[in-house]
Amino acid sequence: MEGTPSFKAKLLDAHQMTHSRGSVTLRKCINADRDTNPLKTPKFIMMMESIEMAIRALIQYNERFSLIQIYLTQGAHNKLNAGGSIEERTSEDIVLHCLKASGLVCYAYSSASKKVLQLCDDHASDERYLVAFNPMEGNRHTLVTGFIFSVYRQSEITQRSHFKPGNEIIIAGFVVFGAACELFISTGGNSLQEFIYDEVIGEFIAQNLDAKIPVKGKFYCIDEAQSEMWDQPTFEFVTSKKNPKIGPPKQYRCTGSLCTDMYACLKEGGILMYPKTLHNPTGTVKLLFEANPLAYIARAAGGLATTGYASPLDIVPESLHQTVPLYMGAREEVVDLLENVTIRIATN
């Protein structure tokens, strides 16, 4: 990515920084201000350690990903009866094993499963959590993948069939797997922290403890192949971003991975667009597993997220795999899009 240091260069810098001075690790961040922050109870920290353990295991699993791809191309079955690829189901099992080991996560919502998964008894602890996650987001065939998660407190009325809106998330994050692995995480939604995994010492090293999305974007991300099926406000907005008579044309990018494109958005500023189409009138982004955690992260980084009509964080999910349209990224770009929507509504 032009203007952005390579993953390997950043990994080397992080490793050198670790040995040159006392660096801030993810564990230190999780344990920071535990005496003054009511969110960071001993059980919360135990639960977060289980998520960190899951991420470490996923990193190791993804390092062997290319070998698995070679095996699959030699004729092995790459689908399971329950749905989803072998890699996705294995990643899900890794995460579930770590969450269950904590004894603090009662229910897990996984994008790879068709039902809510109960991991412990409702009354196993007086402090319990719900975790929603996408174990392998992105395009596995091109090795562009990530992991997205969000955590909620479980209340007495929260049961298997009751879902919480994204505004009740207490911590969310996503990981980009690559030559080096980057983690973005927000606790309490007040700020966003960026970490890079140093595989030599086995720690996540802080790169930025207050990451921000640039106010104005450099690129737009959307599946242009679907342009004939976009709604009119989206079509007009994208057309304006390519018109040199209006302003310098925006760069176009689309990797097929929400995590990877969100990473670029956080670094360079931009707008990610997953509109409703004629074939998908309710959108394609999964509310629980993708829209809510990434909208939470965008907000913590000073950006905006919308379905075109409301914040995804305000929507109470009606089903496990409910989908929504999603527009997310640099504040000025999202506001510009919403103005297009407002004008279109007013003139109809």
- DSSP per-residue letters across 181-208: -EEEEEETTS--EEEEEETTTTEEEEEE
Q: For residue 2, is pLDDT > 50?
A: no
Strand 117-118 and strand 144-153: the pairing is unpaired
Question: Do 71 and 251 meet the contact criterion of CB atoms below 8 Å apart?
Answer: no
pLDDT tens-digit map of 245-286: 888 899 999 888 999 999 999 999 999 999 999 899 999 999
Can you give the pLDDT at residue 118?
93
pLDDT bin (cut points 50, 70, 90) of residue 94 is very high
Structure-block tokens of residue 188 = 């309490």
CATH class given for the domain over 33-178: alpha beta
Q: For residue 288, is pLDDT > 80?
A: yes
Query: Worst-scoring range by mean pLDDT, 78-87, 234-243, 262-271?
Result: 78-87
pTM, entire model: 0.88
Can you give the pLDDT at residue 237?
93
- The span from the CA of 206 to the CA of 195, in Å, is 4
Alpha-carbon separation of residue 151 from 111, 131, 229, 275 (angstroms)? 14, 5, 35, 26
- The span from the CA of 205 to the CA of 14, in Å, is 7
Q: For residue 157, is pLDDT > 60?
A: no
Alpha-carbon separation of residue 140 from 179, 288, 291 (angstroms)? 15, 21, 20
Query: According to CATH, what is the number of the domain 219-347?
Result: 3.40.190.80
Q: pLDDT averaged over the chain?
A: 86
Nearest to 133 by CA among 286, 255, 262: 286
Specify the 3-state DSSP secondary structure of 23.
coil
Going along the chain, which residue ranges are E strands?
A: 105-110, 117-118, 129-139, 144-153, 169-177, 182-187, 193-198, 203-208, 219-221, 251-252, 270-274, 285-286, 304-306, 323-324, 326-329
Burial label for 76, CB within 10 Å (0-12, 13-18, 19+), is exposed
Q: What average pLDDT score do residues 74-94 get? A: 65
Q: What average pLDDT score do residues 173-188 get? A: 93
pLDDT tens-digit map of 20-70: 445 899 999 999 888 888 999 999 999 999 999 999 999 998 887 655 554
| In the chain, where the domains are located | 33-178, 219-347
